[in-house]
Amino acid sequence: MIDVKQEVKKIESEIIEWRHQLHMIPEIHTELPQTTAFIKARLEEMGLTYRTYTNNGISVVIEGADDGPVIGFRADMDALPVKEETGLPFASTNEYMHACGHDAHAAMLLGAAKVLSQHKDQIKGKVVMIWQPAEETSGGSKQMIEEGCLSDPKVDRFVSMHIGNLFKDVPTGYLGVRHGPLMASCSSFNVKIKGKGGHGARPHECIDPIVISCDIIQSLQKIVSREINPVHGAVITVGLIHAGTIVNVIPSEATFGGTVRCYQPEDAEHLEKRIKELITNTALANRAEAEIEYIRYYPATINNNEVTDFLAECAAKIVGPDKVVEIAEPSTGTEDVAYYINEVPGSFGILGSIQPFEDGVVYPHHNSKMMLDESVFWIGSAVFVQAALDFCR
Q: Per-residue contact track with Zn ion, 84 to 113, x per CB under 5 A? A: ----------------x-------------
Q: Binding-site residue total for Zn ion (CB under 5 A)?
A: 1
Task: Give the nearer residue to Zn ion in terms of CB position, either 122 or 137.
Answer: 137
Calpha distance 90→315 (Å, rounded): 29
The count of other CB atoms within 10 Å of the CB of residue 263 is 21
Q: At what angle do helices 33-45 and 12-24 cross, to 10 degrees?
A: 160
CB of 96 to Zn ion, least distance (A): 13
Close Cβ partners of 63 (under 8 Å, ≥ 6 residues apart)? 120, 123, 126
CB of 108 to Zn ion, least distance (A): 13
Given the residues 135, 136, 253, 336, the one annotated as active site: 135
Calpha distance 103→80 (Å, rounded): 11
Burial of 217 per CB tally in 10 Å (0-12, 13-18, 19+)? middle
Q: Per-residue contact track with Zn ion, 233 to 272, x per CB under 5 A? A: ----------------------------------------
Q: φ and ψ at 291, to 5 degrees?
A: -110, 125
CB of 2 to Zn ion, least distance (A): 30
Q: Is 134 in the site for Zn ion (CB under 5 A)?
A: no
Task: Give the nearer residue to Zn ion in terms of CB position, either 100 or 268.
Answer: 100
Q: Per-residue contact track with Zn ion, 52 to 91, x per CB under 5 A? A: ----------------------------------------
Given the residues 7, 27, 76, 78, the one annotated as active site: 78
Calpha distance 290→282 (Å, rounded): 9
Task: Give the nearer residue to Zn ion in terms of CB position, either 19 or 192.
Answer: 19
Residue 306 annotated to the active site: no
Residue 227 annotated to the active site: no
Minimal CA–CA distance to 390: which of 309, 336, 332, 326? 309
CB of 206 to Zn ion, least distance (A): 44
Task: Give the nearer residue to Zn ion in terms of CB position, either 183 or 382.
Answer: 183
Do 2 and 114 form a contact (C-beta atoms < 8 A)? no
Task: Give the nearer residue to Zn ion in terms of CB position, either 28 or 100.
Answer: 100
**What end-to-end distance do the CA atoms of the chain give, in Å?**
10
CB of 76 to Zn ion, least distance (A): 6
Question: By beta-carbon distance, which residue lies closest to Zn ion?
Answer: 100
Calpha distance 105→131 (Å, rounded): 9
Enumerate binding residues for Zn ion (CB under 5 A).
Answer: 100
Catalytic positions, please?
Answer: 78, 135
